[in-house]
Chain A
Amino acid sequence: MSILILAEHDNASIKGATLNTVAAAKAIGGDITVLVAGEACGAAAEAAAKIEGVSKVLVADNAAYGHQLAENVSLLVAELGKDYAYILAPATTNGKNTLPRAAALLDVAQISEIISVESADTFKRPIYAGNVIATVQSSDAIKVITVRTTAFDAVAAEGGSASVEAVASAHDAGNSSYVREEVAKSDRPELTAASIVVSGGRGMQNGDNFAMLYSLADKLGAAVGASRAAVDAGFVPNDMQVGQTGKIVAPGLYIAVGISGAIQHLAGMKDSKVIVAINKDEDAPIFQVADYGLVADLFDAVPELDSSL
């Protein structure tokens, strides 16, 4: 069986989400090809060739794929994907944008955000914001799948030696164009890749108070996240949101500060290995999932924690 993976990359490097997706492909089993579609993306393709378990890398280096617009990349994926039994992508905003479009072009269903591989055609995936796990079976000849990255341990980024092959086909649908991107700049690790995450909720009271969390995060080498309540209240920008409708994280340590633990937030972090909750409300639902709960005023506890590290 052959598996095509649409790589998550920024032309210069391969993103970690690709490594989790390769892990899901290994769980399915088969010959793994990674497609790097971009512009001046040679470095990303070389990095993809080193990923453990990958046998071939296809590089589609063309201006039409420069910003990985779904209209163009989906045409490429549909063209190449015809020859594969599986087409996978990480369930990042990029993967979610492009893969369903490719699936429809191939006239096959997509199975979104799988969390486990049960057999060649059967997978588990969360529905109802993670409150229910469904086991689903596909009857399509080509199985198009997005992968919830936190559910699969990343394979090694080094050690492989795949062949690299250029793909000539340039698809330009000509109906969309990239204008600009506003990337949140930060020296801290990326939320979805960090081994420690410190998150703040409505209890932080305002955006300025997040300075406490930044200080704590810098001591721990952690990323900083937020609950939807904190984002909606305007304390911090939305790319910091952890939850069902934000980012799904599963770090080794998750510290929830002033977060009550709404279902939608829990859906985004409950697979973390160790969860710490600091909240002054001892009945807050977050304590039901926390390994270590501290009932305290965060404005006392966080500075104390910071100074004791």
Chain B
Amino acid sequence: MKVLVAVKRVVDYNVKVRPKSDGTGVDLNNVKMAINPFCEIAIEEAVRLKEKGVVTEIVAVSIGAKVCQEQIRTALALGADRGILVETDVEVQPLAIAKLLKAVVDKEEPKMVILGKQAIDGDNNQTGQMLAALTGMSQGTFASEVVVEGDTVTVTREVDSGSQVVKLNLPAVVTTDLRLNEPRYASLPNIMKAKKKPLDTMTPEDLGVDVTPRVTTLKVEPPAERQAGIKVADVAELVDKLKNEAKVI
């Protein structure tokens, strides 16, 4: 079966981001960019399913500026077979991304779409659920285990109370949580091979999708700083402070 994997270009997770001093946005000048970690897990899962013989073709899709090709190439180096870039310079928001992905799904007709549960820049945690709604697919969000059997997929989900197992009819949308797998590193030969894999480019207009933002960011600012307190000398002083100063025990 064919699997579609969505990948997003984000600030590398090791970078400590800062708002610009005028509050208009986050300072992205000379910042290292990378594939969103949850998307990397999504690719890895697709590749593992292919290695098991469950999946026959992996299509990696990214939406954004031309530079997002880099993240698609990374996905191709990790084992995706071909790439699709939906190129736009508009700030695409989750609903618009879901609509674009739906248009790609309509063309490609994959049996499963795997996405990260959220991107580490916007922290929205919406796109997979929205795509599932628009396509009428079932959804297995925050997945820690994915087992495909015939026309169904059984997904173990990380939920607040522990874990929940659901059985979904295919086609389905799966969003990945951290413990689903540990992504591999791309080998040099595979990075070279990835350069030759096909990568199609299309635009939101080609797909007939209106990507006008619905939400406007008015301002960004650093969070309120928490003041460091004091160091206590020993346990006795700690207990005294908690009882008599903070009055919390």
Instruction: Contacts A110-B126, A253-B242 given; indicate if A94 touches B160 (C-beta within 8 A).
Output: yes
Q: Is B51 interfacial (CB-CB < 8 Å)?
A: no
- Say if the beta carbon of B218 comes within 8 Å of chain A: yes
- In contact, B122 and A127 (Cβ under 8 angstroms): yes
Q: Which residues of B contact A (CB under 8 A)?
A: 11, 16-19, 26, 93-95, 98, 120-127, 129-134, 136-139, 141-142, 144, 154, 157-169, 172, 177-179, 214-223, 226, 228-232, 234-236, 238-239, 241-242, 246, 248-249
Nearest Cβ on chain B to A120's Cβ, whole angstroms: 14
Measured between alpha carbons, how far is A140 from B249 in the docked complex, in Å? Answer: 46
- Determine if B222 and A133 form an interchain contact, defined as CB atoms under 8 angstroms apart: yes
Give the docked Cα–Cα distance between A276 and B226 (Å). 13
Q: Is the interface of A mostly helix, strand, loop or mixed?
A: mixed
Distance in Å: Cβ of B159 to nearest Cβ of chain A: 4
For A188, the chain B residues whose CB sits under 8 A away are none
Say yes or no for A160: interface residue by CB 8 A criterion: no
Q: Which residues of chain A have C-beta atoms less than 8 A from B216's C-beta?
A: 136-137, 139
Residues of B within 8 A of A182 (CB): 162-165
Q: A252-B248, A253-B242 are in contact. List 20 more A-B contacts (CB 8 A).
A: A69-B166, A70-B129, A92-B160, A93-B160, A104-B133, A108-B95, A128-B26, A128-B120, A129-B120, A131-B222, A137-B216, A137-B218, A173-B136, A175-B138, A182-B163, A183-B161, A239-B158, A245-B178, A247-B160, A293-B228
Q: Indicate if the CB atoms of A135 and B219 lie closer than 8 Å.
A: yes
A252 partner residues in chain B, CB cutoff 8 A: 248
Instruction: State which of A112, A179, A301 has its C-beta within 8 Å of the C-beta of B124.
Output: A112
Q: Is the CB of A290 within 8 A of B228?
A: yes
Main secondary structure on B side of the interface with A: mixed
Query: Please, how many angstroms separate the alpha-carbon atoms of A263 and B16 in the complex?
Result: 9
Residue numbers of A with Cβ under 8 A of B are: 67, 69-71, 74, 92-94, 96-105, 107-113, 122, 126-140, 173-184, 192, 196, 220, 228, 237-239, 244-245, 247, 252-253, 263, 270, 273-276, 282, 287-296, 301, 304-305, 308-309
Are B242 and A126 in touch, CB under 8 angstroms? no
Query: How far apart are the CA atoms of A276 and B228 in the complex, in Å?
Result: 11
User: B233 to chain A: closest CB distance in Å?
Assistant: 8
Name B214's contact: one of A92, A138, A295 (CB within 8 Å). Answer: A138
- Evaluate whether A109 and B239 lie within 8 angstroms (CB atoms) in the complex, with A70-B139, A176-B169, A238-B158 already known: no
**Which chain A positions have C-beta within 8 A of B132?**
70-71, 101
Residues of A within 8 A of B166 (CB): 69, 176-179
Pick from A129, A133, A273, A305: contact of B221, CB below 8 A: A133
Give the distance to chain B from A198, nearest Cβ to Cβ, in Å: 11
| Residue pair B16, A93 in contact (C-beta under 8 Å) | no
Pairwise interchain contact B162-A183, C-beta atoms closer than 8 A: yes
Bound CA–CA A182/B216 (angstroms)? 40
**A127-B123 in contact (CB<8A):** yes
Give Cα A131 to B138, complex, Å. Answer: 33
Chain B minimum-CB-distance residue to A138: B215
Are A181 and B161 in contact, with the CB atoms below 8 A?
yes
With A96-B141, A109-B214, A128-B17 already in contact, the answer to whether A276 and B242 are too (CB < 8 A) is yes
In the complex the two chains form, is A196's CB within 8 Å of B139's CB? no
Find out whether the CB atom of A108 lies under 8 angstroms from the CB atom of B133: no
List residues of chain A with CB within 8 A of the CB of B16.
131, 263
User: Given A111-B215, A179-B165, A301-B235, is A292 in contact with B121 using a C-beta cutoff of 8 Å?
Assistant: no
Using CB atoms, name the residue of chain A closest to B165: A179
Taking a contact as CB atoms under 8 Å apart, the answer to whether B94 and A175 are in contact is: no
On whether the beta carbons of A292 and B238 are closer than 8 Å, the reply is yes
The CA of A129 and the CA of B122, in the complex, are separated in Å by 9
The answer, among A130, A133, A176, for a CB contact under 8 Å with B138, is: A176
A177-B167 in contact (CB<8A): yes
Contact, CB under 8 Å: B228 / A288: yes
